[in-house]
Chain A
């Protein structure tokens, strides 16, 4: 049996899905071939590590409360879903206005920095684009978006914080945040970009207004 044939069967070997004769052929080959034996051991160890991969427990009270919370949400959301369905269709037909905010450079050596901008929101989906300019390609950058209570990220329900990781390319990168104002008054969108121990913070203040009115028009905010 060749190394190529053996390696093609190693996954089936560890899954126990080979016939007895195929299994014996792989075993015999691995007894005399260190390279294939090492590959087999590596695949076994990998499967073993995944087999014992823990699942972190959910937040306290999740198991006890999630069904009741879902029922409450279902009962409350029924009329709201109908309303959303109608206005989302309208929003799509009416074209979504976009605001572009330049966040500036993110560099590994940069210390905490806060800047503040003001944009208008209303009860339709308004896409706010945050542009991040990076001097170089950066891997494993953590992105965090936090919303105040009177804002929603369209499609995320009542979730007020969204975290994810990504890489940034050299030059301008853009995040699109589909924001809906759900109550009048001032609100906040905080975007944090973290790299290692450094953090760049962008705070966007929102004002609930009728569509089409831009509250603040500065050099850093443009209508898209």
Chain B
């Protein structure tokens, strides 16, 4: 056993855990924000993950590439727990299952940081299904490659690519109407004349 490992093994679990996960917190928060789309839930998700992982410290210390493993765990927690919790609180009509998934709304402060185009794009993205929105967020906004996402989300690259392209095309169609609808109407009216 190396001196470093020997030293670590004598540290308190809390210190070892802190040393291990602290460098990953900012990345985890960004990832959580992209999933949850609001700061409160993103913070809660990260804390929930860390709370669960603390008792798995020994396992964590054996993982060679910790970041993708943590992100996969965060994603699984979001899917297994958070999304289920959110669905408990969606508004439903009696005797009727809803087909829309409720998403949390950005606060006015958060919206103020966005350009007009970004606000229109985000509004359109809320119309996408969860899988399409997630892959667009993580690929186009956060810059993960499809192979990285395939590893994190445990989904084939072809499936992710299909979701990404469909999502982008749908958002493009919706935002074209929103951003250029008036111009297009004007042009079509001129052509008609």
CA distance A70 to B113 in the complex (A): 30
A59 pairs with B39, CB closer than 8 A: yes
Complex contacts, A145 vs chain B, CB 8 Å? 89
B47 pairs with A58, CB closer than 8 A: no
Within A172-190, which residues are at the interface with B (CB < 8 Å)? Answer: 172-178
Mask of B159-184 contacts with A, CB within 8 angstroms, 1/0: 00000110011011001100000000
Within B18-58, which residues are at the interface with A (CB < 8 Å)? Answer: 18, 21-22, 25-26, 29-30, 33-34, 38-40, 42-44, 46-52, 54-55
Within A36-63, which residues are at the interface with B (CB < 8 Å)? Answer: 39, 42-43, 45-47, 49-59, 62-63
Mask of B85-111 contacts with A, CB within 8 angstroms, 1/0: 110111111100000101111000110
Interface of B is mostly: helix
A88 smallest CB distance to B (angstroms): 14
B168 pairs with A66, CB closer than 8 A: no
Complex contacts, B141 vs chain A, CB 8 Å? 50-51, 53
One of B3-11, B64-72, B114-122, B148-156 contacting the partner: B114-122
Mask of A1-16 contacts with B, CB within 8 angstroms, 1/0: 0000000000100000
B115 pairs with A49, CB closer than 8 A: yes
Interface residue tally for chain A (C-beta within 8 Å): 58
CA distance A161 to B89 in the complex (A): 12
Complex contacts, B143 vs chain A, CB 8 Å? 51
**A147 near B: Cβ within 8 Å?**
no
Complex contacts, B42 vs chain A, CB 8 Å? 58
Complex contacts, B134 vs chain A, CB 8 Å? none
Known: A74-B54, A77-B51. 13 other contacts (CB 8 A): A46-B168, A50-B118, A50-B136, A51-B143, A55-B29, A66-B43, A66-B50, A67-B17, A71-B50, A74-B50, A141-B91, A156-B85, A163-B105
